[in-house]
Structure 1
Amino acid sequence: MDFGYHKLYIDGKLVDSISGKRHSVICPANEEEIAQIAWAGKEDALLALESARRGFDYWSSLSLSKRTEWMTKLRTAILEKEHELRSALVYEMGKTYEGAWEDIEAVINGLEWYPAAMKNMRDEQIPDYENTHTHKMVHQPAGVAVAYLAWNFPLLNVGFKIGPALASGCSLIIKPSALSPLSAYMIGGIMHDIDFPPGVVNILCGPSREVATTMTTSTIPAVLTMIGSTATGQKVIADSTTSIKKLGMELGGNAPFIVFEDADFDKALDLGIALKFGNSGQICVAANRIFVHKSIYQKYLKAYVQRASELKLGHGVDERPDMGPVVTRKDRDRMFELIEDAVSKGAKLEYGGKIPKGMEKGNWIEPSVLSGMTPEMDVFRKETFGPVAALMPFETDDEVLALANDTEFGLASYIFTNDHKRIERFSKDLQFGEIQVNGVKYSIYLPHGGIKNSGIGHDCSHLALDDYLVKKRISVAI
């Protein structure tokens, strides 16, 4: 598959980088080049910042209804290119074609939902107890926003940022990951084709030390928002202190998936598989550490291994696999290292742990299952971010609560039980930004955010608008 050459989108134009450099986009399924993109440098980042500054002046002056018209036009144009965009996701990141719809859906939902959410934002009236003034709090767009995106959901991450940024009145610079920049560049092409107002959105990718550092240290951005690793988030925070900026960050996760003895067994099994091997395990809310009550542990483990062994691996628009490759050879090798570390510390490899036969080319690894996980193992401590499941039995509620919270991360967590007192206790005491009980639901209108080292602020829901708005108090003497 050849997707050709795609240019930077700066100031409403498709342009080559100033240096003329290009970057190859490699398919993780076969290690073949599928596209080239213009490869930005420091000078391109500076141009994008100035463009976004001008774009903010224009966009923030438009009424919400006018901004909504443009967002609706963009949404329509993206839907018309759905197949091309989904295909790009399949080949740049190794997604299944069905799985790629989640990315498209996030973009179109974000462009539709956030104008309505912004319309529902109301000024806050503050009472004056001496009856000398009237007071109100009003919302205004913060300014230029810069978004750094992770590679695992290239367009979903665009949707999480472009919706609230544009609805609020901010201009936006998008820097996709160098591992999966193609679909984001294609969005730039679509915006160019519909004559989207210049400077309101700019899209470029290049070396982080040149592009990201230039934008992060600039005093132009009012907002820095990102989806990525905790280590990257810490660097962005440190580099941002050249001026006071609003920060919104969805960072690493290490989700506990707790199955109690009274759980709906089949549901806990179905979701335990889906949340571990969906998107090849490359999800921040993946079931990272699976804790199962001792009384049903062997039954659950046996069923889990059976289900993992039945997953179909494959790649391509016409294929209908359950799981694709991981994104890079380095990430695949990291899976082997996690397995080796666990086994050396007493775990048992129940299934997988090898390159599938006939799939030596590309970044393939079998869905893998480890039993006997302990806190000393890397699979317990680190975010796996790949198709390696690790299971561990527990006996008491106190024990599993302590194990679940024994992590620096605090994004998602999952519990399966029908005991209402237990649900109440774990909902209160689990140290995670999301507690999902007896099921899983994510949507554009539901807040998505973490605590501890998993982030600041929220993606999705009306709370995401907080990252792009500032509040002003207006007091008028009577």
Structure 2
Amino acid sequence: MDFPTQIYIDGQLTKGSGRKEVVNPATEELVATVTTAGFNDVERALQAAKNAFLKWAATSIANRQMWMRRLRDEVIAQEDFLRDCVHQEMGKPWAQTHEDWDRLVVSLAFYAEEIARVHDYGFPDRAGTHTHHMTHEPAGVAVAFLAWNFPLLNLAFKIGPAMAAGCPIIIRPSEATPISAYAVGALCAKIGLPDGVVQILCTDGYDVADALTASTIPQVVTLIGSTKTGQHIMRTGATSIKRYSMELGGNAPALVFDDADLDLAADIVTGVKFSNAGQICVSPNRVFVAEPVREAFAEKVVARAESAQVGFDKTADITTGPVIDDRAHRRIKGLIDFAIADGATLLAGGDRPSHLKKGHYIEPTVLDNVTEAMDVYRQETFGPIVSLIPFSDESRLIDMANDCEEGGLTAYLFTQDQARSDHYAARLRYGEIQINGVKYDIDLPHGGIGQSGIGHDCSGLALQDYLVKKRITRALDTSVFGGLNQ
């Protein structure tokens, strides 16, 4: 299959100045060699976005909606191809590629409707001498940096609100997974999207990527990635005042109490942890289990780990694919080995599946007796590891769950006691608390606290990251000066 290889700048598909080989982590075989943007390409994209801003910002909502729906229709028509792009560049199991594709469809549809719900408003004047009107306007050019773990989903979370708000957007996909984003660029070119409204380019090195944030042209910089990357982007972006929207790292706790539905808890913990090879920012990394149900819960988690199907067969019901590359594989294997050396008990997995000779695979792994001193506890594992931490005393549980250097994105609670769940939900420092279930959708806010980010993806809150408010005040009697303090 021929995959797209060209960057999309100023309404045109073009070759960049650099080259990048994209390798399937499941087969370790070359998928495509894509072109990448150098400094001149980045400058062209920035100028094109700047030139497009006034026109796109002034375009009627109805016209923006039309373009978004045209792009959505092409995404629907190209479902199999777009999903295959994700399947090949990530090694992601075929069934799991549906979520990537679907989120792009629903994002374009949702934000085309959501922008029409944004209303300007007035507010009273204390002295009655003036009228005041608050309007919403596009913030300016946006630059988006995407993580590789959900190539189309992450793109969807940025392109939808930016297009709807009237902000030209430059999308920089991860160098590990540029193909599906380039495919979206090809669809933008196909429908004749106005020049500069959307641009998609992988950069030829991190210093070239820095040129996007160091420029004074962008007014909005948005990121899905690690906390360390977020800090770096804010430093390089300090050449001017910019708005930031970032979904960053996390080290999600799951609290399984003695009255929990253990099958439900085991299904959710392993479902989120083994899907996408655990490369999910909201995966429950630290699973705190009440001592009375510890053994029963561990058995259920181990049974699910051992029954998980690992591989890259498009016709099979695969649970867990490969991790993204050899570096990730070595890092995750090291976390497992060091934890065992430090006293953790290996209950399942822990190594490469014996039936797979190629690919960066790690078996679904379950560790018991994990402690606070272990790296597997302290770090976001981003791999298919369930770490069980038994507890018999709840006095330190909140402090332990909140002890996360990377900030708070998601926490999970499993209990039948509503008073208990309310107590913990109010005290856990995470942007999302999932109680006896898990739910994500385009209309639900997704964001973290502290080092886990700024702003939100999804819902109308994401749209606000691309809009600025302007107050328009009009004197009712021009012969009367209202005064600065009235």
TM-score scaled by structure 2? 0.96
Contact 2:329 2:361 in 1 (8 A): yes
SS in 2 for 1:74: helix
Q: Which residue of 2 aligns with 1:60?
A: 57
Q: Does 1:239 align with 2:236?
A: yes
Q: Which residue of 2 aligns with 1:377?
A: 374
Query: Alpha-carbon deviations, 1:115-154, whole Å to 9, x = none?
Result: 2211111113221111111112111001100000000000
Contact 2:213 2:237 in 1 (8 A): yes
SS in 1 for 2:399: helix
Query: Alpha-carbon deviations, 1:44-73, whole Å to 9, x = none?
Result: 111110111112222111100100000000
Residue identity (%): 47
In 2, Cα distance between the equivalents of 1:55 and 1:333?
44
Which of the residues 454, 457, 460 maps onto 2:455? 457
Describe how 1:52-131 pairs up with structure 2 within 5 A.
52-131=49-128
For the aligned residue pairs, the C-alpha RMSD in angstroms reads 1.1
Q: Does 1:419 align with 2:387?
A: no
Contact 1:41 1:210 in 2 (8 A): no
Q: Which residue of 2 aligns with 1:202?
A: 199
In 2, Cα distance between the equivalents of 1:230 and 1:207?
22
In 2, Cα distance between the equivalents of 1:118 and 1:206?
31
In 1, Cα distance between the equivalents of 2:311 and 2:457?
31
- Structure 1 letter corresponding to 2:188: M
Which of the residues 443, 455, 461 maps onto 1:445? 443
Contact 1:205 1:211 in 2 (8 A): no
Contact 2:3 2:85 in 1 (8 A): no
Q: Which residue of 1 aligns with 2:481?
A: none
In 2, Cα distance between the equivalents of 1:471 and 1:153?
32
- Structure 2 letter corresponding to 1:253: G
Which of the residues 211, 216, 220 maps onto 2:213? 216
How many aligned positions are there? 475
Q: Does 1:173 align with 2:167?
A: no
Moved more, 339-348 or 276-285: 339-348
By how many angstroms is 1:4 displaced? 4.1
Describe how 1:287-298 pairs up with structure 2 within 5 A.
287-298=284-295
By how many angstroms is 1:5 displaced? 5.0
- Structure 2 letter corresponding to 1:157: N
By how many angstroms is 1:80 displaced? 0.5
- Structure 2 letter corresponding to 1:411: L
Contact 2:4 2:179 in 1 (8 A): no
Query: Alpha-carbon deviations, 1:338-357, whole Å to 9, x = none?
Result: 01121122101111111111
- Structure 2 letter corresponding to 1:117: E
SS in 1 for 2:445: coil
Q: Which residue of 1 aligns with 2:480?
A: none
Query: Alpha-carbon deviations, 1:185-210, whole Å to 9, x = none?
Result: 00001111111111100000023433
In 1, Cα distance between the equivalents of 2:3 and 2:428?
48
Q: Which residue of 1 aligns with 2:13?
A: 14
Q: Which residue of 2 aligns with 1:278?
A: 275
Describe how 1:252-267 pairs up with structure 2 within 5 A.
252-267=249-264
SS in 1 for 2:465: helix
Contact 2:8 2:199 in 1 (8 A): yes
In 1, Cα distance between the equivalents of 2:365 and 2:215?
44
Q: Does 1:393 align with 2:390?
A: yes
Which of the residues 137, 142, 149 maps onto 2:146? 149
Moved more, 309-318 or 251-260: 309-318
SS in 2 for 1:221: coil
Query: Alpha-carbon deviations, 1:446-471, whole Å to 9, x = none?
Result: 00000111001100011101211111
TM-score scaled by structure 1? 0.98
Which of the residues 336, 353, 357 maps onto 2:354? 357
Describe how 1:304-315 pairs up with structure 2 within 5 A.
304-315=301-312
Contact 1:314 1:320 in 2 (8 A): no
By how many angstroms is 1:317 displaced? 2.9
Structure 1 residue runs of 4 or more that deviate by more than 4 Å after TM superposition: none
**CA distance change for structure 1 residues 164 and 391 in 2, over 3 Å: closer, same or farther?**
same
- Structure 2 letter corresponding to 1:206: T
- Structure 2 letter corresponding to 1:140: E
Q: Which residue of 2 aligns with 1:429?
A: 427
Contact 1:91 1:316 in 2 (8 A): no
By how many angstroms is 1:81 displaced? 0.4
Q: Which residue of 2 aligns with 1:469?
A: 467
In 2, Cα distance between the equivalents of 1:283 and 1:5?
26
Structure 2 residue runs without a partner (length 5+):
477-486
By how many angstroms is 1:314 displaced? 1.5
Query: Alpha-carbon deviations, 1:187-246, whole Å to 9, x = none?
Result: 001111111111100000023433311110000000000000110000000111100000
In 2, Cα distance between the equivalents of 1:265 and 1:379?
23
By how many angstroms is 1:24 displaced? 1.0
Contact 2:4 2:182 in 1 (8 A): no
